[in-house]
Amino acid sequence: MVKIRLRRVGAKKQPSYRVVVADSRFPRDGRFLESIGFYNPLTDPPTVRLDEARAIYWLQRGAQPSEAVTGLLARQGTLERWARVKAGEPLESVLAEAPAPEAQAAPRRARVEALPAEASLEALQLSTRVANLLAVSGITSVGELLQRLSQGHEGLRAVQGLGPKSIEEIKEALRRRGHEVS
């Protein structure tokens, strides 16, 4: 039986998935017949890119979507369009209504209000290790953290135990909370 399912890619604890068409006897991350899309659950909102024409093509040939892929197809509106194709509507007219893949690929993020300088570091939701290192070095507010960052990498490198990955985590947390960080 041919299945439309997710194939895990990405690093450890950083999952992203390819939407693939595969024989059900193939392993989850093994061989597949065709890759028809991409799904990244870690972005906000989750990124879903799907070649709807190929998805409908495989559905016409009897491919069964997995539970997770059924949810993705339903959110994209593909299952509704597939039902209309099954009811006899021409495939071309149904696909003409589908959103362009570029529109699916670039989710818009709502503008987040930047944290005030006097806000505590807890609002950034940093890992426990990084938060403890900052607290030990005397950095307790977002303003102090931004001041250290304005001094360049040397401002935060002075904190013992804070390496490049920790600094990137801090910068990403600040970006998520609406601060412009280079």
- What is the reported pLDDT for 112? 60
- Quote the number of domains for the chain: 2
Arithmetic mean of pLDDT, 158-166: 81
Domain membership of residue 113 (yes or no) is no
Q: What is the pLDDT of residues 21-80, one digit of tens each?
A: 998 888 878 888 889 999 999 888 888 999 888 888 899 889 999 999 999 999 988 888
- What is the reported pLDDT for 106? 46
- What is the reported pLDDT for 105? 46
CATH number at residue 7: 3.30.1320.10
* Same domain for 158 and 70: no
Domain membership of residue 158 (yes or no) is yes
Q: What is the pLDDT of residues 88-114, one digit of tens each?
A: 888 777 777 766 655 444 444 555 667
Domain membership of residue 153 (yes or no) is yes
CA distances (Å), 73 to each of 60, 116, 159, 169, in order?
14, 40, 47, 33
Which structural domain, as residue segments, surrounds residue 58?
A: 2-105
Q: Are 99 and 75 in contact (CB under 8 A)?
A: no
For residue 96, what are the β-bridge partners?
Answer: none
Domain membership of residue 25 (yes or no) is yes
* Same domain for 127 and 69: no
Can you point out the beta strands (E) in the chain? 2-9, 16-23, 34-40, 47-50, 64-65
Arithmetic mean of pLDDT, 8-17: 89
CA dihedral 165, 167, 171, 172 (to 10 degrees): 20
Domain membership of residue 63 (yes or no) is yes
* pLDDT above 70 coverage of the chain, percent: 90
Instruction: Give the Cα separation of 4 and 69 in Å (integer).
Output: 7
Work out the pLDDT band at 153, boundaries 50, 70, 90.
low
pTM exceeding 0.75: no
* Same domain for 94 and 49: yes
* Same domain for 142 and 94: no
Domain membership of residue 150 (yes or no) is yes
